[in-house]
Structure 1
Amino acid sequence: MSQHNCDLLIVGAGMLGLAHAWAGAKRGLKVRVFERSHTPLGASIRNFGQALVTGQAPGVMLDLARQSHRLWAELGQAAGLQLKQQGSLLFARSEAEEALLEAFCAGRACEQGYRVELLRGAALDGLYGGRFAHHRAALHGLDDQQLYSREALPQIVDYLRTLGVQFHFSTLVRDVEPGSALTSTGRFSARHIVVCSGHDYQTLLAEPLAALQPSVCRLQMLRARLQQPLDLQHAVLTGLSCVHYGAFADLPEAEAIRAQIRREQPELETHGIHLLVSPTPHGELIIGDSHDYGSDASPFNAEGVDDIMLALAEHTLGGKLHVLERWQGVYGSRGPGPFSVLQAGAGVSAVLMHTGLGMSVGLGLGERSLSALLGEGEWPQASVA
C-alpha cells in the first residue's frame, strides 16, 4: 500500500464523486479527489437539491433512493447540513392529475411501499394557512428531502477533509490508466480510480463513454423571492411532474395528463417543462425547469420559457415572484439507462448519471459501487426489477 499515493482516486467533486469519497473514507481508505474547477460548479450545485424517493421508478432507482434517504440523514447530521426532511408536496391542478394521484395511492404506492398521503379538503386547506387551497389535492411524499446544493456541497467537502480526504481543486485529470492518473500537477498512483465526470464525455475514457451514446440536457433555472413571504419547508412539484418521473409516468392515468398538455399547453411538452420549486435557507425559491437535449448545451436561454415557468410557479404558490438570478443547469442524459457503471480497465471505473436524479440516488450509488470495487458486493445495474 505504501507505494501508492492513495487507495482511491476520484475524478470529479460533484455529488457522485463526493459519494464515492465518503464511502471510501468511512472504510478507512486514503482518498484523493480531483476537480478541474476551483469548487464544484457542475450539475450538482445547479440543481434543486431535491432528494426524492416518491418520484423514483420501482426497481433499482427506488432501491437506491431509499438507501440514499438513510445516507442523507447520516451525512446531514455529520456535516451539519441544513437538510429539510418535511417531505415533498405534489399538487394536482386538474381532474386528470388528481385521478393519477388517486390511482397511484390505491395501487403502486401500496404495492411498492411508497410512504405517501393524499391531502384533500381540510388537510389541503390547512397547508401554509390556505396558500395552496386552490389546488384539487396534494400528494405528500414523506420520505423526500431537500437541501441548498450550492452551499451543501462545499460543506460536504469540508466535512470529508476532516475524515482525511485530500482535495485537488483547479486540477485537470488528463488521462487515467490502471494504477495511475496523469494530472495538470503531476502523476498520481492509486489502487482504484473512479471517474465521475458528469456530462464530460471527451476528456477521459472517451471511447467507452461514446459507446453509451449519451447526450446532454440543458435546463433553464431561476432563483426568485415571493412578494408575499412564504416560509416553505417542503419541496414542491405539480401534476406535470407525473409525466416525467418514473413512479407515475407509465401509469395508464398519465396519458390523460399528456393529452391535456397537448390540447391546452403544447409548449410545455415542446420545452419539456414541469414545475419544481425548492426553498433556500435564505427565504428564496429555486424554480424550474425545462429540458433541451443535444450533444452540447446551447448557451442561449429563451425568455419565453422562463415566462412559462414563472407563470406556473406564481399560480402554484399563489403570489407574484421577483427574479433574483437565472442560470443553466446541465447534466448527462439519455444513456442506456438512468446511470452507467463501467469497468474501463484493471482498477479503473466510471460511474455516470444519465438523468437529473443524482441528488436522489447518488449517495446510494456511490456506496454500492465502492462496495463492489472492494469485493464486498455486486455492481449496481441500471435495470428495472
Structure 2
Amino acid sequence: MSQQDCDLLVVGAGILGLAHAYAAAKRGLKVKVFERSHTPLGASVRNFGQALVTGQAPGPMLDLARLSRGLWAGLAAEAGLSIKQQGSLLFARTEAEETLLEAFCAGRAREYEYKVELLRGSALSDLYDGRFAHHRAALHGLDDQQIYSREAMPQLAKHLQQRYAVEFHFSTLVQDIQPGMVKTTSGVFRSPRVVVCSGHDYQTLLAEQISELKPQVCGLQMLRARLKQPLQLQHALLTGLSCVHYGAFSDLPEADAIRAQISQQQPELEANGIHLLISPTPYGELIIGDSHVYGSDIEPFNSEAVDQIMISLAEHTLGAPIDVIERWQGVYGARGPGPFSVLRVDEGVQAVLMHTGLGMSVGLGLGERTIAAMLGESAWPGTQAA
C-alpha cells in the first residue's frame, strides 16, 4: 500500500463531499476525494435540483441556504452548469393554503427578509399564458434556483479537478479511517484533515459514532415526464402541500388548517408523505415527486398507486396531461437530531451528515462553514456538533 500526502482527504463525492473539496481547494489546499461509485449515484443525483431559500426555517438553515445561493451562482458561472435562476412558484390551491401564504408574507417574510412576492389576480393569470390561473395565489420565491443534478454533480467534479487540481479516486472504497490516515482500495493516504460525507450509508464508516445520532433513511418515488401540451417552464413548482413540510411555513399556526384538510380529505397524502414538487430540466422535461417512507433500510419496490397520486397532482397543477418517461427511487439520510450533524470524531476527523433532503439547498454553505471552522477561521456550524 502506498502513502501519499495532501492537506485534506474527503470521503464521498456527493454534494457535501464536493462542497468541502471546493471550499478547501479554493483556499489553496491540496485535496483528494474518494468515491466508491464510478460517478455520484446517491441522493445528490436523484433529487429535484431545487436550491431553495424560500422554504428554509429561520436560523442556521436559512443562513446556509443564503450562503449556498451565492456559491451556486458562482460555481455555475465558473463550471458552465445549467442553472435556472427565475425562482420558484408555490401555488395555493385552497383557502387554507392562501391564508397561510398571506400570513407568511405579512409576518415571517418581512421579519427575516425572505425575498418573495404573492401573486394573485392578473399577476397570477399572466403567468405562462394563464396556465396556472386555476390556483388561488402563488408565492414567488425570488432567491430560489434549480440545478440539473444528474449532470451538475459530474460536471462539478470535473471542474474541481481541472481548475483547482482536486484529485478524484472514483470506484474506490474507503475501508478504515484513523487520525491522519485513510485506508482505501487504492492505497493508504495521509493528511492532517479528513472529512467524511458518506450520505445515508451509516454502516461502512464511523458506524459507532453515527449510530448515536439515531438517523434513518428516507426513500422517495420520483418521475421524469413530458407534458403533452408543451410548456417552457423556467420555475420550480410547489403547492400548498409543501407548507406542512418546509420549515419556513410548517410551524406557523395557519399550517394546522392545511394539515386538518389533508387528513380529512386526502389521507393518502399524509399516509405516504406526498407533497408535490416539479423541476424543469434543460431539455424541456419535468422531474416530478415525491413521497416519503422512513426506516433503517428502504425496500427497493415502488408503489404504482403512489406514482398515480403524484401524476394526478402534477396534471392538476400543470393543467395538462403528462407522459412518464422514467421512474426511480430517491434516497437520503433523514431524521437525525437536527437537519444536519457535524461530528468531530477524532483529531482532525469530521463527519458531516444531512438529516433532510435539503442538501442541494444548503450543502455548499455547510461545506464552506465546516472548512472555515477546521482552519480556525470561524466557529463550527450549528445545529448539531459534537
TM-score calculated relative to the size of structure 2: 0.98
- Number of the residue aligned with 2:95: 95
- One-letter amino acid of the counterpart of residue 39, structure 1: T
- Number of the residue aligned with 1:30: 30
SS of structure 1 residue aligned to 2:118: strand
- Number of the residue aligned with 1:130: 130
Q: What is the CA–CA distance in structure 2 between the aligned matches of 1:365 and 1:268, rounded to whole Å? A: 31
Write the deviation string for residues 27-85 of structure 1: whole angstroms up to 9, x where unpaired.
Answer: 00000000000000000000000000000000000000000011111111001111100
- Per-residue deviation, 1:186: 1.2
- One-letter amino acid of the counterpart of residue 158, structure 2: D
Write the deviation string for residues 167-204 of structure 1: whole angstroms up to 9, x where unpaired.
Answer: 00000001100001010111111120000000000111
Write the deviation string for residues 352-371 of structure 1: whole angstroms up to 9, x where unpaired.
Answer: 00000000000000000000
Q: What is the CA–CA distance in structure 1 between the aligned matches of 2:36 and 2:375, rounded to whole Å? A: 26
Q: Does 1:273 align with 2:269?
A: no
- Number of the residue aligned with 2:221: 220
Q: What is the CA–CA distance in structure 2 between the aligned matches of 1:300 and 1:82, rounded to whole Å? A: 31
- Unaligned 5+ residue runs, structure 2? none
- Per-residue deviation, 1:4: 5.4
Q: Does 1:248 align with 2:256?
A: no
- One-letter amino acid of the counterpart of residue 267, structure 1: E
- Number of the residue aligned with 1:311: 312
- Number of the residue aligned with 1:320: 321
SS of structure 2 residue aligned to 1:57: coil
- Number of the residue aligned with 2:289: 288
Write the deviation string for residues 193-226 of structure 1: whole angstroms up to 9, x where unpaired.
Answer: 0000000001110100000000000000000000
Pairing of 1:174-185 with structure 2 (within 5 A): 174-185=175-186
Q: Does 1:40 align with 2:40?
A: yes
Q: What is the CA–CA distance in structure 2 between the aligned matches of 1:202 and 1:158, rounded to whole Å? A: 28
- Number of the residue aligned with 2:20: 20
* Alpha-carbon contact 1:4-1:191 (below 8 Å) kept: no
- Per-residue deviation, 1:317: 0.4
Pairing of 1:98-117 with structure 2 (within 5 A): 98-117=98-117
Q: What is the CA–CA distance in structure 1 between the aligned matches of 2:6 and 2:339, rounded to whole Å? A: 30
- One-letter amino acid of the counterpart of residue 41, structure 2: L
- Number of the residue aligned with 2:298: 297
SS of structure 2 residue aligned to 1:69: helix
- Number of the residue aligned with 1:66: 66
SS of structure 1 residue aligned to 2:250: coil
- Number of the residue aligned with 1:345: 346
Q: What is the CA–CA distance in structure 2 between the aligned matches of 1:186 and 1:364, rounded to whole Å? A: 31
- One-letter amino acid of the counterpart of residue 340, structure 1: S
SS of structure 2 residue aligned to 1:247: helix
- Per-residue deviation, 1:5: 1.6
- Number of the residue aligned with 2:82: 82
Q: What is the CA–CA distance in structure 2 between the aligned matches of 1:212 and 1:23, rounded to whole Å? A: 26
Q: What is the CA–CA distance in structure 1 between the aligned matches of 2:176 and 2:112, rounded to whole Å? A: 43
Sequence identity percentage? 74
Task: Indicate the larger mover: 3-12 or 348-357.
Answer: 3-12
Write the deviation string for residues 140-180 of structure 1: whole angstroms up to 9, x where unpaired.
Answer: 00000001100011110111011100000000001100001
- Per-residue deviation, 1:382: 1.2
- Number of the residue aligned with 2:364: 363
Q: What is the CA–CA distance in structure 2 between the aligned matches of 1:262 and 1:230, rounded to whole Å? A: 32
- Number of the residue aligned with 1:158: 158
Q: What is the CA–CA distance in structure 1 between the aligned matches of 2:262 and 2:175, rounded to whole Å? A: 46
Q: What is the CA–CA distance in structure 1 between the aligned matches of 2:300 and 2:80, rounded to whole Å? A: 35
Q: What is the CA–CA distance in structure 1 between the aligned matches of 2:383 and 2:275, rounded to whole Å? A: 24
Q: What is the CA–CA distance in structure 1 between the aligned matches of 2:24 and 2:371, rounded to whole Å? A: 7
- One-letter amino acid of the counterpart of residue 50, structure 1: Q
Q: Does 1:189 align with 2:181?
A: no
* Alpha-carbon contact 2:276-2:288 (below 8 Å) kept: yes
- Number of the residue aligned with 2:11: 11
- One-letter amino acid of the counterpart of residue 328, structure 1: Q
- Number of the residue aligned with 1:260: 261
SS of structure 1 residue aligned to 2:84: coil
* Alpha-carbon contact 1:54-1:247 (below 8 Å) kept: yes
- Per-residue deviation, 1:381: 1.0
- One-letter amino acid of the counterpart of residue 337, structure 1: G
Write the deviation string for residues 1-37 of structure 1: whole angstroms up to 9, x where unpaired.
Answer: xx95211000000000000000011000000000000
Write the deviation string for residues 266-309 of structure 1: whole angstroms up to 9, x where unpaired.
Answer: 00000000000000001100000000000001111010000000
Q: What is the CA–CA distance in structure 2 between the aligned matches of 1:186 and 1:20, rounded to whole Å? A: 22
- Number of the residue aligned with 1:55: 55
User: Could you list the runs of 4 or more consecutive aligned residues of structure 1 that deviate by over 2 angstroms after TM superposition?
Assistant: none
* Alpha-carbon contact 1:240-1:275 (below 8 Å) kept: yes
Q: What is the CA–CA distance in structure 2 between the aligned matches of 1:180 and 1:166, rounded to whole Å? A: 16
- One-letter amino acid of the counterpart of residue 261, structure 2: Q
- One-letter amino acid of the counterpart of residue 201, structure 1: Y
SS of structure 1 residue aligned to 2:138: strand
- One-letter amino acid of the counterpart of residue 101, structure 2: L
Q: What is the CA–CA distance in structure 2 between the aligned matches of 1:203 and 1:21, rounded to whole Å? A: 21
SS of structure 1 residue aligned to 2:124: helix
Q: What is the CA–CA distance in structure 2 between the aligned matches of 1:175 and 1:379, rounded to whole Å? A: 25
* Alpha-carbon contact 2:4-2:188 (below 8 Å) kept: no
